[in-house]
Structure 1
Amino acid sequence: MRSTFKVLFYLKKNEVEPDGKAPLMGRITVNGSISQFSCKLDVKPSLWDTKSNRASGKSIEAQKINRKLDNIRTQIGKYYQIISNRDSFVSAEKVKNAYLGFGDKYRTLLTVADEFYEQYAKRVGKDRTAGSYEQLLINRSRIADFLKDRYNLSDIPIREIEPSFIEDYYNYLLEERKLASSTLLTAITKLKQIMLIAQRKRYVRVNPFVAFRFKAQTRDRGYLTEEELHRFMTVKLRRYKQRQIRDIFVFCCFTGLAYSDVKKLTFDDIQTSFDGDL
C-alpha cells in the first residue's frame, strides 16, 4: 500500500504580534498521522494566500518567504524518503523529529552547550574559576531567552544554525537586551565557542561564524575633570557608607584598578611597605 505524504503551511492568525505579523506553522501528514511544527517565520496576514499555501505577490519579502518554504518542503521530503526506505513504519512525528534534528544522530544547541558546561564545572577550583563558570550559565540563559522570544523554541538543532541566526542573536542582544559592547562581545564569543565544539565533534560540517564579523560599538563613557574630582573628594557626606563608597571610587581613580579587582580586596591585602607605611 502506497503511503500518503503531505506538507502544508498555515498562519496562526489568532496570535498576531504587535508588528502585525503572525507565526507561520507547518503540518506534516503521513498516512493519516499529523504532526505540526514552527517554521520560525512571521508573516503579515495580508501577504498570505491560504489557497496556494504560499505568500502572494512578487515582492522581495514574499519571494524570501516562499524560498524558505520550498526549502523546508524539500528537506522534509528527503527525511520522509530516508525513513520510508529504512523503516517499516513511517509516521508524521518520525519525519518531523528527523527534520528538526531530534533523532539519535543529531544534537541541539543547548544540549551541546550543557555537555561542555558539565565538563567545565568539574574543573572549577582547579584551572577554572567559579566566576567564569557563572558567566557561562548567564550566557546560556541569554541563548535560551533568545530562542523563546524570537522563535518560540526551547531549543534548536545545532545543524540548523545559520549565519542569519547569529546576526539575529547579535541584534537581539544589542537592541532588546541593550548589552554594552564588551558584554556583547563576550556573549557572541561564548556562542562561537559552542559552535567550534560542535564542528570539532562533527555535529556540523560548516561553522556559521565563518562569515560573521563583530561590529564593535563605541560608547562615550565621559570623565571627571580635575576640578570635579577635587570637589568629589572634599564634599562633606553625612553617612559613613557614602564616604566609604566615595573613598573606594577615588582609590580606583588614582590606582587605575578596575571595580572587579577592588571588590576582591580584603584586609589581608594591606601590607607594610619598605618605608614602614601601610
Structure 2
Amino acid sequence: MKQNTFSIIFLIRKTRLTKRGEAPIQMRITANGRFIELNTQRKIEPANWNQKKERATGKTPTHQEINRYLEWLRTRAYEIQKELFDQNGYAEPVLIKEYLQGKHNTCKMFFEVFEEHNEQMSLLIGKEYNEITLRRYRLCLRYFKEMLSEETKVEDIPIKNVTGELVRKFEAFLKIEKNCAQNTVIRYMKCMKKITNLALANGWIITNPFASVKFKEKKVIRDFLTINELNMLKDKEFEIPRLEIVRDVFLFCCFTGLAFIDVYNLKSEHIIEDAKGRKWIHKQRQKTDVEFFVPLLELPLALIEKYKDHALCKQSGKVLPVFANQKMNSYIKEIADFCGIKKHLTMHIARYTFATTVTLANNIKLENVSKMLGHTTTRMTEHYAHVLNESLANDMDKLSGIISQ
C-alpha cells in the first residue's frame, strides 16, 4: 500500500467544555484519507488556544508544558509512522494511535498466542470448527515447538521474531524431518498464517512474515470407487459388527455425498418428505454453513431403516451409528483389504465417489451435483468432472496399451 499523505493536527473540542470552561485537546492522525483521533489528556481555555499554530498562546508554565507535550507527541507520531512504513509498507492511523498509547510495549509470545487461539477453537467444536481442524492446529504448534527446540533450546519466542526466514525454515522442517507432502505442508502453513494474521490485526506485529512467502498446492487426482467396487463393498458380508457398521456408513456417504462431519451429525430432523412422498436430506454443511438438498435413494433409505433401533442411534438421536473419524478411516482400510480393493480409502473418498461414479458418470447435471454437494459455485464441482475425465483417459491409455500388444 503506497502511503502518499500523512499529517498530524491538534484541535480543541469547544462542545465538550469542562465545568472550568476548558476544552479537551485532540490529536488527529490522518493517512491516505483515513483518520483517527486521540485524546491528549490535556485541556485548555479556548481563549488561550491558537488553532492556526496548533499551540497554546498563554505564557504560564501549564501552557508551556502543553506546547512541549504536543510537540513531543507530533515528533513521536512521525517516528512511529516512519518505522511502520519502512517495515511494512504502510502505517494505519489506528496502529500509530495504539503505539502512542503504549499498547504495544508488552511483547506477545508466539506459543502463548497460538495456544490461546487453540483453546478458543476447542470451545467452538461442533459450532464453527471440527476436531480434525483443531488437531491440525495443535500439530502445527507441536511441530513448530520441536523445530525451535532443536535450533535454539528456548521454550517460546516473541511473536515479532516470527520472520519470513523462520517460516521458510519451518517449511523445510516439515518436509525433511516430518516427511510431509507439499499439500500437507501448505495446510500447516495456513494454520501458522492465521496466527500471524491475528497478531497483525491486533497490532502485536507490524511486519507480515508471509508477505513474500508463496505456496503452490500440488494438483492431486483423488481416488474414487468404480461401480464394480461399490458392488463388491455392498455385497461383502462381515462377521465383525464394527466393520459392517463402518461399511454401511461409508456406503451411505457414497450415495448421498455427505462429508464425515455431516453424516456424523445427521439427525432425523434433517430428513424431509416432499409432496410426492420422496425423502430428502435437508441440512447445512458443517464446514461452510451452505444449505444443501440430497434425494435419498433406495440404499441409503434402507440403511436408515436398518439402524433406526440401534442403541447408539436411540441414545444420540442420530440417524446412523458413526464412530470417530480416525476410527472410521482406520476401519475402512481394513474393509478395503477384505474386499480386495487396492485403493487408499478414507471417508472423504465416499464423497468423491458420489460426485463421480454415482452422479456425474450417470449424466446428472453438474449444477445439480453442485447443489447436492453444498458447493457455492459449479467451479468447485468441476474439479470432480476433471477427475472423472482423467480417470477415463487413464483407463483408455491402459486399453490402448493392451490392444497394441
TM-score (norm 2): 0.36
Q: How does 1:23-102 map to 2 (within 5 A)?
A: none
- SS of the counterpart of 2:233? helix
Query: What residue number does 1:189 align with?
Result: 190
User: Does structure 1 residue 224 correspond to structure 2 residue 220?
Assistant: no
Q: Distance in 1 between matches of 2:205 and 2:185?
A: 24
- C-alpha contact (below 8 Å) 2:136/2:188 kept by paired residues: no
Gaps of 5+ in 2: 1-104, 280-300, 302-405
Q: Distance in 2 between matches of 1:218 and 1:125?
A: 30
**1:178-197, Cα deviation, whole Å (9 max, x unpaired):** 44666543321221122223
- C-alpha contact (below 8 Å) 1:158/1:203 kept by paired residues: yes
Q: Distance in 1 between matches of 2:201 and 2:187?
A: 21
Q: Distance in 1 between matches of 2:115 and 2:246?
A: 39
Query: What residue number does 1:203 align with?
Result: 204
Q: Distance in 1 between matches of 2:224 and 2:125?
A: 38
Query: What residue number does 2:252 align with?
Result: 251
Q: Distance in 1 between matches of 2:268 and 2:184?
A: 31
Alpha-carbon shift at residue 160 of structure 1 (Å): 2.3
- SS of the counterpart of 1:156? coil
- C-alpha contact (below 8 Å) 2:130/2:261 kept by paired residues: no
Using a 3 Å threshold, how does the CA distance of structure 1 residues 269 and 241 change in structure 2: closer, same or farther?
Answer: farther
Q: Distance in 2 between matches of 1:153 and 1:107?
A: 15
- Equivalent pairs counted in the alignment come to 174
- For 1:229, the aligned partner's letter is L
Q: Distance in 1 between matches of 2:176 and 2:252?
A: 34
- C-alpha contact (below 8 Å) 1:113/1:194 kept by paired residues: yes
Q: How does 1:142-181 map to 2 (within 5 A)?
A: 142-179=143-180
Q: Distance in 2 between matches of 1:260 and 1:122?
A: 16
Query: What residue number does 1:237 align with?
Result: 238
Q: Distance in 1 between matches of 2:253 and 2:189?
A: 29
- SS of the counterpart of 1:211? coil
Alpha-carbon shift at residue 142 of structure 1 (Å): 3.4
Alpha-carbon shift at residue 166 of structure 1 (Å): 0.8
Q: Distance in 2 between matches of 1:108 and 1:142?
A: 17
- For 1:222, the aligned partner's letter is D
Kindly name which structure, 1 or 2, has the bigger radius of gyration based on alpha carbons: 2
**1:112-164, Cα deviation, whole Å (9 max, x unpaired):** 3345556x369748974574666544443333233224543321222222212
Using a 3 Å threshold, how does the CA distance of structure 1 residues 223 and 157 change in structure 2: closer, same or farther?
Answer: same
Using a 3 Å threshold, how does the CA distance of structure 1 residues 270 and 185 change in structure 2: closer, same or farther?
Answer: same
C-alpha RMSD over aligned residues: 3.4
Alpha-carbon shift at residue 210 of structure 1 (Å): 0.2
- C-alpha contact (below 8 Å) 2:121/2:129 kept by paired residues: no
Query: What residue number does 2:112 align with?
Result: 111
Using a 3 Å threshold, how does the CA distance of structure 1 residues 176 and 220 change in structure 2: closer, same or farther?
Answer: farther
TM-score (norm 1): 0.50
- SS of the counterpart of 1:187? helix
Gaps of 5+ in 1: 1-103
Q: Distance in 1 between matches of 2:253 and 2:122?
A: 35
- SS of the counterpart of 2:155? coil
Q: Distance in 2 between matches of 1:126 and 1:243?
A: 26
Identical pairs, percent = 24
Q: Distance in 1 between matches of 2:161 and 2:137?
A: 22
Query: What residue number does 1:13 align with?
Result: none
**1:16-52, Cα deviation, whole Å (9 max, x unpaired):** xxxxxxxxxxxxxxxxxxxxxxxxxxxxxxxxxxxxx
Q: Distance in 2 between matches of 1:122 and 1:245?
A: 27
- For 1:218, the aligned partner's letter is K
Query: What residue number does 2:262 align with?
Result: 261
Q: Distance in 1 between matches of 2:127 and 2:261?
A: 20
